[in-house]
């Protein structure tokens, strides 16, 4: 085998393997972007003219839960396909992070109920708090996971989520949905473009 041929084979195999096991595929991101627009767009639309603020309408919440359930099912099947045949440390890490994420999101929802029960306004309990807390949780756990995988573009996306969530809180109970939606959409699309560019960049193998 010629050295050039060996170098080409080595590079092609390495790239193909990394692509095969990357559950954050471009397809997944392309589906995530419209999901963000629909979810945050519908929630914002339902609260934009509320005076006084009451919170997202049941119909808007129904759309949100349906779209999120479909996206979670799609993401889970993509991750399952990517992880097929794989065992060891990274699988154990993914399971641990998933458990932490579910526990943290449940905790956020429980705390939302406690806030309301303790007299917090609708603007806080059903407006600013839910998206801000959930995005901060998602961003923090995502960032920790990306650090463990040494996935720096992924870390950038997660870190940016925390910044968007924190900044959007200042937009008030109505504006927070729009601001989070636009911010998350930009982050996800920018992250996908950065990832596609990095995946296509020539790698120095030999």
46-85 binders of another protein (CB under 8 A): 84-85
Q: What b/e readout covers 115-137, taking b as 16+ CB neighbours within 10 angstroms?
A: bbeeeeeebbbbbbbbbbbbbbb
| Residue closer to another protein, measured from CB, 10 or 102 | 10
Q: Do 115 and 125 contact (CB within 8 A), yes or no? A: yes
Residue partners of 162: CB distance under 8 A and separation at least 6: 135, 136, 139, 140, 143
Assess 102 for contact with another protein (CB under 8 A).
Answer: no
Site string for another protein, 144-173 (x = CB under 8 A): -----x------------------------
Residue 104 Cβ vs another protein, minimum distance, rounded to whole Å:
24
Tokens of 141: 């756990």
Q: Which is nearer to another protein, 62 or 199 (CB)?
A: 199
Residue 48 or 80 having the CB closest to another protein: 80
List the one residue from 69, 70, 76, 91 that touches another protein (CB under 8 A).
91
Total number of residues that touch another protein (CB under 8 A)? 26
Q: CA 140 to CA 144: how far, in whole Å? A: 6
Q: Taking contact as CB under 8 A, which single stretch among the options 4-12, 52-60, 132-140, 164-172 is the one that binds another protein?
A: 4-12
Cα–Cα distances in angstroms (integers) from residue 4 to residues 1, 10, 18, 42, 113, in the given order: 8, 10, 21, 55, 63
Q: Which of 51, 52, 58, 88 binds another protein (CB under 8 A)?
A: 88
Q: At what angle do helices 89-117 and 129-149 cross, to 10 degrees?
A: 160
Residues forming the site for another protein (CB under 8 A)? 1-4, 6-7, 9-10, 13-14, 16-18, 20-21, 84-91, 149, 205-206
């Amino acid at each position: 085998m010629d050295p050039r041929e060996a170098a080409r084979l080595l590079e092609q195999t390495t790239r193909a393997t990394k692509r095969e096991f990357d559950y954050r595929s471009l397809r997944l991101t392309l589906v995530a972007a419209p999901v963000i627009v629909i979810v945050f767009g519908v929630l914002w639309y339902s609260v934009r003219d509320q005076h006084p603020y009451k919170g997202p309408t049941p119909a808007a919440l129904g759309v949100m839960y349906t779209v999120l359930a479909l996206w979670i099912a799609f993401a889970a099947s993509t991750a399952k396909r990517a992880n097929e045949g794989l065992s060891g440390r990274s699988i154990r890490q993914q399971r641990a992070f998933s458990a932490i994420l579910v526990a943290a999101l449940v905790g956020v929802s429980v705390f939302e109920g406690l806030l309301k029960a303790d007299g917090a306004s609708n603007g806080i309990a059903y407006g600013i708090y839910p998206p801000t807390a959930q995005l901060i949780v998602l961003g923090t756990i995502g960032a920790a996971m990306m650090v463990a995988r040494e996935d720096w573009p992924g870390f950038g996306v997660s870190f940016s989520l925390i910044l968007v969530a924190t900044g959007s809180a200042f937009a008030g109970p109505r504006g927070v949905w729009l601001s989070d939606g636009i911010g998350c959409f930009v982050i996800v699309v920018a992250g996908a473009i950065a990832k596609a560019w990095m995946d296509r960049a020539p790698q120095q193998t030999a």
